[in-house]
Amino acid sequence: MKVTICMGARCTLMGANAIYDAVEYLQEQLCGPDSELCSAENLEVDFAHCMNYCKNHEINQASPVVIVDDEIMFKATAQEVSEKIINKLRIDK
């Protein structure tokens, strides 16, 4: 699973750092060497400098933006992203 977090100025201002911290915590806790749920290779975390969704989004309140696999999450929160990752890991197991 690939998680891409927009770290553009607007997304960072709206909480992208908290999302990154939550995803990093999940990666360490759920995908460690003794994990039965996933391995470190199963959860790839990436950054984007700016994905331009906030500029092109009709409502113009899309930030922060996170992509989990191919699903785009607008106004993402650390809790929502964490839940999405955990649910996808359980399904893929």
Which residues, in sequence order, are CB contacts of 63 under 8 Å at separation 6+? 6, 8, 10, 11, 13, 14, 16, 54, 74, 75
Whole-number pLDDT of residue 31:
79
Q: Is 90 exceeded by the pLDDT of residue 59?
A: no
> Distance between CA atoms of 47 and 7, rounded to whole angstroms?
6
Give the model's confidence band at 58: pLDDT under 50 very low, under 70 low, under 90 confident, else very high: low
What is the pTM (predicted TM-score) of this model?
Answer: 0.86
